[in-house]
A and B are shown apart, each in its own frame.
Chain A
Amino acid sequence: MTEVIRDEEGRFVVELEGEIDLERAPALRKTLLDCVRRGRDVLVDLSRVTYIDSSGIASLVEALQDAGKSETRFGLIAISPEVMRVFELARLDKVFTIHPDLGSALEAGA
């Protein structure tokens, strides 16, 4: 997994790539919580993620919870159908704001 963090109109966009598993999840958790705790809105681009396991999803959930506490927004972009099936299994599609692409997310003011 590689991570790229960039500034997009005042919000962090975290671009993830590859597989997110038990080995990678701790680093992802740290990255996401660091971004959220800096008080900015966060968008996580999952378009190049080929696999994400429960530990990666748990990191997203924890970051979402922290964002809620600090009243910043936390959204996901471009979830693949495979990952979406796992989200739907745990009904996480009802919890996260999920945008089809970055343009839609920016347009929606996320």
Chain B
Amino acid sequence: MTAQASQLTSAQEPAAVSPAAPVIRVEGLQAFYGAQQVLFDVDLTVMPGEIMVVMGGSGSGKSTLLRHLVGLSRPAAGRVELLGLDITRARSMEMLALRRKIGVAFQGGALFSSMNVLDNIMLPLREHARLDRKTMEIMARLKLEVVNLAGADALMPSELSGGMLKRAAVARAIIMDPTLLFFDEPSAGLDPTVSSALDDLILKLREAMNMTMVVVTHELESAFKIADRITILDQGRILLVDDVAGVRRSDNPRIQNLLNRRSEETEVDAQAYLQRLTGETPTPPAATNETPEAS
């Protein structure tokens, strides 16, 4: 099944999602790092309450896609619509209002090292809400309870383990009770037990708070546990969008390689490779001014 066909099928017959309008609609998204195109005409739809997992190998474009979904990067072409707002054309006030409804749990936690856990978690509230400090502290401690970090409020980020940092990042991401929550590699660097507990937390949050979630991960076990649907990216293109069963039964060799974790010879664009080696870069159609990052 082609990606297009699969996505249409899933969109018409979503598993465990409401018939309401999509929470995320991406159309024709293209992205470049300098001259190098890293996303090619990406189309994606995520429905309310759905957990969409984005998978792919290193350099597949999944982190780039996430950066565009959360508004950290502007696309060279295409459209990204979140909660009905086209963020590629939104005004700053519209983006500010949208950000109150969105949470992002970054891979490394992204906590401020000079602040204790409680102040880190309260930070979005101090930026976006006018609440009594006592109310904000109770809200932050409630979130620490939810992520099983009760009592960690006075600790500094440097005193937290990797798993605790991830949980603190989740607590901060959900402090505003977001409608839409993004996770960047939630399981990366965690042992299987801690990783599994984080998966359980993701499912628990969805059930209790009815959030829509996009989870970027390369952990197969985690993806299969939490996903309603999985988007598989390969060299900047969507290879497949389907539910877990559909991904498992795919006979696409590249997907099978991903599932079986077999390394694969990357196709080489000789001309682009030569240009990289020699430092000669062609003029991009529409380039962003970002620095490359690992996907």
- Give the B-binding residues of A (Cβ under 8 A): 22, 25-26, 29, 53-55, 57-59, 61-62, 82, 85-86, 88-92
Contact = CB atoms under 8 A, between A and B. Distances in A.
B138 interface: yes
Contacts of B210: 82
SS class, residues of chain B in contact with chain A: helix
B209 A59 contact: no
Given A58-B135, A88-B208, A89-B208, A26 B142 contact: no
B132 to A, nearest CB: 7
A61 B131 contact: no
A58 B177 contact: no
Interface in B130-148: 130-132, 134-136, 138-139, 142-143, 145-146
Interface residues of B, number: 24
Contacts of A58: 135-136, 138-139, 142
A45 B142 CA distance: 22
A79 to B, nearest CB: 13
Contacts of A92: 142
Contact of B142 (A22, A57, A85): A57
A61 B209 CA distance: 19
A54 B146 CA distance: 12
A22 B208 contact: no
Instruction: Sort A-B residue pairs by CB-CB distance and give the 6 closest, nearest first.
Output: A58-B138, A89-B208, A85-B208, A53-B177, A54-B139, A58-B139
A104 B47 CA distance: 40
A62 B208 contact: no
Contact of B175 (A54, A90, A91): A54
B204 A89 contact: yes
Nearest to A87: B208
B135 A62 contact: yes
B129 interface: yes
B267 interface: no
Nearest to B205: A89
Contact of A91 (B100, B134, B143, B145): B145
Nearest to B134: A62
Contacts of A89: 146, 204-205, 208-209
B207 interface: yes
Given A58-B142, A90-B142, A29 B135 contact: yes
5 contacts: A54-B177, A58-B136, A59-B135, A61-B138, A62-B135
A7 B128 CA distance: 36
A55 B129 contact: yes
B139 A55 contact: yes
Contacts of A85: 207-209
